[in-house]
Amino acid sequence: MCYTTSMYARRRIVGGIDRLAQIALAILVVASGAAIAAQQGPTISSRVNVVTLFATVHDADGKVAKNLTRDDFVLLEDGAQQRIDYFAQESDLPLTIGPLVDTSRSQTGVLEQERRASYTFLDQVLREGKDEAFVVHFDLQVETLQGPTSSRSELESALARLKIPERDSTLVFSAIKDSSEASMRPLMGRKAFILLSDGVAFKEPTSITTAIEYAQRADTIIYPIRFSDPVPFSRPVIGAILAIASEHGKQGLRRLANETGGAYFEVTASQSIEDIYSQIEEALRNQYSIGYTPARAHSDGKYHKIKLTTKDRHLTVNTRAGYYAK
């Protein structure tokens, strides 16, 4: 396991006061967008249970909606409407991206494409001196090949070390759980996993529900990309079993995206992995940062459901489905 850069160490120290730091950062966002805040209403409360959301909005044609205002959104927590205390477009907050790469045997025929496309994506998205990425692979185990860094060469080297083991196991949910807790939760800013897998867990001790909980507690969005070798229909019985498992994996990937505020993608003959990465890049560059203070007087430690929509019913909002009060 390899961790590098003094920047990573500094960010983990900052992460020790994660919740308070996020609140302070939210206040700075408002201050930097004073013109917007003055036009659209009051800033955030001084109470500490501030909830921050990052949302992407698409129109009926799947295009990103870029020019919405606070008044276009309707926000509910546990069914009760909430006042949006701060709002910003195209958030300038630091971004941490964690490619979680499935290196189980089902990925044998596609791993090289994933490797090349992932490096191109990181090279284009990461802003020098502001954003970072780390690389995790999972099969028989979950292993961090590169800790958070902004170095292109270190990321390229980590991706080059991806390989397929001889024995089979797919710890997809453990990868989300472990990476959320160890790498994402201590950090501030915007955080996203790029999950490259067919979604079929095998010999997996962690449930999908637990994986989602850890990602939500770490305020991390998941963008699953379904990519795998074709099901071998030349052997009917095995092919049928694998087809059922494949469909189950697909539904699991959709759930991971829906409940964390990401989007599900699938590599097909008409949609390449490069096309998908372009869509994710556009989504990350056009996020709305939204914050509110729940009506509850204190954090109760419970899970609370969030529903963020727009007044225009033709628009679709992607954001997390809820959060655990801290």
Structure tokens at 97: 């991206």
Q: pLDDT tier at 2 (50, 70, 90 boundaries)? A: very low
Q: Are the beta carbons of 226 and 194 closer than 8 angstroms?
A: no
pLDDT at site 72: 98
Residue 33 pLDDT greater than 60, yes or no = no
Tell which wins on pLDDT, 233 or 173. 173
Residue pLDDT, tens place only, 247-287: 999 999 999 999 999 999 999 999 999 999 999 999 999 99
Residue 32 pLDDT greater than 60, yes or no = no
Report the residue count for the chain. Answer: 326
The domain ranges of the chain are: 33-90+286-324, 95-284
Residue pLDDT, tens place only, 108-117: 999 999 999 9
pTM to 2 decimal places: 0.83
Query: Rounded to an integer, what distance in angstroms lies between the CA atom of residue 40 and that of residue 70?
Result: 7
Residue type, 214: Y
> Which among 61, 128, 281, 101 has a CA at the least distance from the CA of 195?
101
Query: Rounded to an integer, what distance in angstroms lies between the CA atom of residue 306 and that of residue 323?
Result: 8
Going 121 to 125 to 128 to 130, the CA torsion angle's sign is: negative
Arch. (CATH architecture) of 95-284 = 3-Layer(aba) Sandwich (3.40)
Q: pLDDT tier at 40 (50, 70, 90 boundaries)? A: very low
Residue 162 pLDDT greater than 70, yes or no = yes
Residue pLDDT, tens place only, 291-306: 999 987 667 889 999 9
pLDDT at site 232: 55
Buried b (16+ CB within 10 A) or exposed e, 153-169: ebbbebbeebebeeeeb
Mean pLDDT, rounded, of the chain: 85
Residue 313 pLDDT greater than 80, yes or no = yes
Residue pLDDT, tens place only, 46-59: 345 789 999 999 99
- 3-class state of residue 8 by DSSP: helix
